[in-house]
Amino acid sequence: MKLKNCCDILDSKRIPITAANRKKGPYPYYGANGVQDYVDDYIFDDELVLLAEDGGNFGSKEKPIAYRISGKCWINNHAHVLKPKNDLNVDYLCYSLAFYNVDKLINGATRKKLTQSAVKDMEIPIVPLATQQKIVNQIKKVQLLKSTKKKRLNKLDELIKARFVEMFGDPNISEKNQKKVSMTDVCQIIDGDRGKNYPHANDFCNDGYCLFLNAKNVTTSGFDFSNKMYISKEKDEALKKGKLNRGDLVLTTRGTIGNLAFYSSNIPFDNIRINSGMVILRLNHDKIEERFFIEHFKLQLLRIKQKVASGTAQPQLPISTMNKIKIFLPPLSLQNEFANFVQQVDKSKVAVQKSLDETQKLFDSLMQEYFG
């Protein structure tokens, strides 16, 4: 059924308020991606579904384009406002639209925008109201499982942090009896080759000799190779600095700052290079153990980010700032003891992550079955 036949489309009631003119209050001010602010008045008081009007992630499994809201609120003009009619469950409507592929509806536009006329003609599968509720209950159960497993992963990360602080203290708190050294005393900070041989767009391919890292490859939880690009052997040999050795760490230094990934023997690529938004940290393993260093750096990250100049279009962590970072240097035997603890916790994390991945597959399968 088309949305215009099963929903009231309340876009005409939306009113944008500039940041300068918003008066603070208790009511959420919604846009395309959720709460933008809180204001002192409201124009809606109902159970509604908001559908993003524009954005670069339409149809992405990571970022739904629709979400449910309820209660008193204000909505700007970056989200379409849908109120389901009596024979349509509001959660069912939200799930129907959450990962809707709108590519065909926005083709040809210089800026991706979902117009109201296109929204009216979007179609969702209609089943009896009782069946809608059963579907919603089933999906919510799977979402609860996902949420529980993610919380378990977070708790395991917190356990590692707590153990570090218990053994070595908090890196952000100066203690007189703690030996600290400069980061450059325990590792080399190696920039990439940004000269005339730096690859251009036409140098990349989907397969090749050397994996050339992009911003999506280095995440808060290590490497992610779901999105890969390569350069040829000839292009690799023309570059100088910036190639990884086993045992190196990669650190993101531009845009998203502070993501770390360890190039262990388990990584299935023999030739890897960093891009211009990263550096290589080549640890001196006679002085410092990589798991100890990674956790140490993570605990310092918020303070490091605060030192980076704010107000710039793209935050950057220059090598000059990294040179000033101080690192605890306890005996290597204690570092190894901590590393063994992390290794045991990581085994639990792998098991939970595997279970989470299976739950995600179940969620994707259900969404495809009911709304695909």
Question: Which of the pair, 248 or 173, is modelled with greater confidence?
Answer: 248
CA distance 14 to 7: 16
257: Cβ contacts below 8 Å, ≥ 6 apart: 301, 304, 305, 308, 315, 316, 317
Please name the amino acid found at residue 296: H
Tokens representing 10 are 């309340």
Q: Is 311 left (phi over 0), alpha (psi -120 to 50) or beta?
A: left
Residue 63: strand, helix, or coil: coil
Band (pLDDT 50/70/90 cuts) for residue 256 is: confident
Return the pLDDT at 336: 97
Per-residue pLDDT tens over the stretch 319-341: 888 888 889 999 999 999 999 99
Question: Which of the pair, 55 or 124, is modelled with greater confidence?
Answer: 124
Alpha carbon 285 to its chain's center: 31
Per-residue pLDDT tens over the stretch 16-31: 999 889 999 999 999 8
Alpha carbon 143 to its chain's center: 18
Residue 20: strand, helix, or coil: helix
CA distance 11 to 316: 40
pTM for this model (two decimals): 0.79
Q: Is the dihedral angle over the CA atoms 151, 157, 160, 164 positive or is it negative?
A: negative
**Region 281-286 average pLDDT:** 95
Per-residue pLDDT tens over the stretch 172-200: 886 666 788 999 999 999 998 888 999 99
Q: Is 267 left (phi over 0), alpha (psi -120 to 50) or beta?
A: beta
**Region 55-81 average pLDDT:** 81
Residues of the chain with pLDDT > 70: what percent?
93
Q: What is the rounded average pLDDT for all residues in the chain?
A: 90
